[in-house]
């Protein structure tokens, strides 16, 4: 699927706060978004696990070389966010990082790699540890690798 088709078919999150961030992001190429982690916000596009529709959500990321690490925190809710289930089902995703829009492959981090990266995440944004403390689930970290890089 080409990037223009992905963008045209994208369905935004049903949450008003997410739609507001998406609108701000698209209008400013990510330069003017009212979000505490705006400098590290991306738009993540996944295929709906049940619907097959392209879903678009704003998520924070931590750069790791050429890859991006996204945090499936859902504010410390007891369940993973829907976008995590979508990419676990189909790891082909698309990413809008400021003006850069590209296809990527999602890889869920586990074991030592998760532990090492989690330490980096909470050094960068300590609030993620508060989210982890609120829930019994391990908050997943996902590596997004640009396709063709």
CB-neighbour burial class of residue 14 (10 A; exposed 0-12, middle 13-18, buried 19+): exposed
Partners of 62 in the beta sheet? 69
64 Cβ contact partners less than 8 Å away, ≥ 6 residues apart: 117, 120, 143
Mean of pLDDT over the chain: 93
Q: What is the CATH number of domain 3-146?
A: 2.30.110.10
pLDDT bin (cut points 50, 70, 90) of residue 1 is confident
User: pLDDT tens across 48-107, in order?
Assistant: 989 999 999 999 999 999 999 999 998 888 899 999 999 999 999 999 999 999 999 999
- Tell how far CA 53 is from the center of its chain: 17
Whether 138 contacts 99, CB under 8 Å: no
């Amino acid at each position: 699927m080409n990037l223009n088709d992905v963008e045209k078919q994208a369905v935004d999150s049903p949450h008003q706060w997410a739609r507001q961030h998406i609108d701000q992001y698209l209008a400013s190429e990510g330069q003017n978004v009212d979000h505490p982690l705006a400098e590290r916000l991306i738009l993540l596009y996944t295929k709906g696990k049940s619907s097959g529709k392209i879903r678009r959500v704003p998520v924070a990321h931590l750069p790791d070389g050429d890859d991006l690490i996204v945090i499936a925190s859902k504010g410390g809710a007891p369940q993973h966010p829907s976008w995590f289930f979508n990419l676990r089902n189909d790891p082909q995703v698309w990413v809008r990082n400021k003006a850069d829009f590209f296809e990527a492959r999602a890889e869920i981090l586990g074991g030592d790699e998760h532990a090492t990266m989690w330490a980096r995440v909470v050094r960068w944004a300590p609030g993620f540890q508060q989210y982890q403390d609120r829930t019994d689930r391990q908050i997943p970290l996902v590596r997004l690798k640009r396709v063709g890089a």
